[in-house]
Amino acid sequence: MESQGQVVIQWELGLHIRPATLIAQLLQRYNARVSLIKNGVAYNAKSVLQMLTIEAHQSDIIEIQANGNDAEEALCALKKFFLEYDDTPYW
């Protein structure tokens, strides 16, 4: 099964270590292979190291591609994360 989607980076700091870590953690639950695609290059969304090298700023659009038996669920969870995760530090 293959599922695709699109998300927008809302966080002021872009896709930096905090969201990248939470994405990797979130995807541990799923079997699907999930890639974040930016400018045609795919990055493994289960690897913090790879995600950190995506140059993704606030307002940038990222494509998501998921392959596997639970691809749809993984995609859904990831989309929800991009929409809801609040990266503003609490001060």
Task: Give the DSSP H or E segment for 81.
Answer: helix 71-84
Q: Does 14 bind another protein (CB under 8 A)?
A: yes
Which residues are bridge partners to 4 per DSSP?
65
Q: Does 1 bind another protein (CB under 8 A)?
A: no
Q: Does 76 bind another protein (CB under 8 A)?
A: no
C-alpha distances out from residue 31 to 56, 75, 86, Å: 25, 12, 26
Residues in contact with another protein by the rule CB under 8 A:
8, 10, 12-14, 16-18, 20-22, 24-25, 47-49, 52-53, 55, 57, 59, 61, 83-84, 86, 88-91
